[in-house]
Structure 1
Amino acid sequence: MKSSLIDKTSGWRGSRDVWVQAAYEALIESGIDSVKVMPLADRLGLSRTSFYGHFSSRQDLLDALITLWQTKNTGNLVKRTEDYAETVTEAVLNIFDLWLLPDQFDSRLEFAVRNWAHTDPKLARLLDEADQIRVEALEAMFTRFGHEQAFANVRANTVYQTQIGYISMKKDGPFEPLEPRLARMPFYAEIFTGQPVSDAEFARFRARHPIPE
């Protein structure tokens, strides 16, 4: 299947971003074994030579996928923990935005990378580091709202491990309808923080995630 993102002209040799996008699509559709130069070239309707005009090796392309995952999922999560919120419940709802916005946190990419890490020791170490960075950012968020360190750590791990469990079970974001997830989120926020979500906070959260007609 050729990528739907391509609008080629005569002599077009592709771009680094196009190759990364094709690799991303192959990864989330079929796993890391499908991310190989010739199948991607066929997918794009390009030559093997054009690949080496943008990458030094297949590993170079794989490293670009890892960077994409680190930037989108870890980078955006850390940033979201630092965003303004008046209450801890509002801060947790800010985190929940990530689970509903694939351009901010890509659950399919997260699932694929975690599967890939089972066969790549270097990536497994990077995944462990990412997990630690994400949990520490969530812990700092809870600490900022007055939770003692031990409780902040447990709450951070609970928030994070719950979401990773959703992703691992394919019950998250692109894997589940939006409405039932939204309906549960104030209850999750209360469990995670020990405080109820106000009607105004939840109304603002729902306004950011309208149900498609």
Structure 2
Amino acid sequence: MEQEIYSGGWRGSADVWLNAAYDALLETGVDGVKIQLLAKKLNLSRTSFYWFFKDRQALLDALISLWREKNTGNLIKQAAAYAETITEAMLNVTDCWLSHDLFDAQLEFSVRSWALQSPEILHEIQNADHLRLAALSRMFVKFGQNEKQADVRARTIYLVQIGYISMQTHEDLETRLKRIPEYVEIFTGQPPKQRELDRFLARNQHPA
């Protein structure tokens, strides 16, 4: 982590400023991501910011890079992860919806809200949607679905999850986990095997 200490005190680090911007984006939207507001929150001088970022736009670009790498990158990675069956592959993708380390739903909501006032961010969202849907479609094609079926199944999965996020749906973990087998069967046309569910629950830190 890049940090700077000078005679007048601690300047912070790129991560410190980025984390503060992340919190502000989630709490108040992009309009709250302003250098002066972040400096006040961090109890740092406004000029300290410029040791790590050229300007506010560079900080906003860093937030989008964080979102792109975490949410889109991990979803694509999970869709391509090793699986013996399509149901196991679907459970790999479902890990994204349960693990904040793999997919940040609050950040997703905030970036999509940001896109309502920014054509550039809307373009980022549209590109991400395209890449994510393509990854899900490839997952189904790999397991024998034709391209049309794969596309429709991918859209069903993805639009349901984006709907969860956009509607800010809140379910307790127990309720959501109980629905997973039925979701997997609806999305893939096959029920998951018990051993697949056991592995899924174990890696999501829940007893079978």
TM-score with structure 2 setting the length:
0.94
Distance in 2, matches of 1:184 and 1:142, equals 21
2:39 is equivalent to residue 29 of structure 1: no
Q: Mind listing any 5+ residue stretches in structure 1 that lack a counterpart? A: 1-7
Contact preservation (8 Å) 1:72, 1:104: yes
1:208 aligned partner: 203
2:101 is equivalent to residue 106 of structure 1: no
What CA deviation, in whole Å up to 9, does each residue of 1:62-105 have, x standing for no partner?
00000000000001111111100000000000000001101110
2:15 aligned partner: 17
Picking from 111, 121, 124, the partner of 1:123 is 121
Describe the SS at the equivalent of 1:67: helix
1:75 aligned partner: 73
Residue 211 of structure 1 deviates from its aligned partner by 4.5
Sequence identity of aligned pairs in percent? Answer: 55
Contact preservation (8 Å) 1:179, 1:211: no
RMSD, matched Cα:
1.5
Alignment of 1:27-66 (within 5 A): 27-66=25-64
What CA deviation, in whole Å up to 9, does each residue of 1:127-183 have, x standing for no partner?
100000000000000000000110000000100000000001112xxx431110000
Amino acid at match of 1:166: Y
Residue 210 of structure 1 deviates from its aligned partner by 2.8
Residue 53 of structure 1 deviates from its aligned partner by 1.1
Describe the SS at the equivalent of 1:17: helix
Residue 29 of structure 1 deviates from its aligned partner by 1.2
Contact preservation (8 Å) 1:178, 1:211: no
Distance in 2, matches of 1:30 and 1:163, equals 23
Contact preservation (8 Å) 1:139, 1:153: yes
Runs of 4+ in structure 1 deviating by more than 3 angstroms, as ranges, are none
Distance in 2, matches of 1:149 and 1:60, equals 39
Amino acid at match of 1:202: L
2:191 aligned partner: 196
Return the structure number with greater strand share.
2
Query: May I ask how many residue pairs the two structures share in their alignment?
Result: 202
Residue 30 of structure 1 deviates from its aligned partner by 1.2
Distance in 1, matches of 2:206 and 2:113, equals 31
Amino acid at match of 2:124: L
Distance in 2, matches of 1:208 and 1:66, equals 28
Describe the SS at the equivalent of 1:70: helix
Amino acid at match of 1:36: K
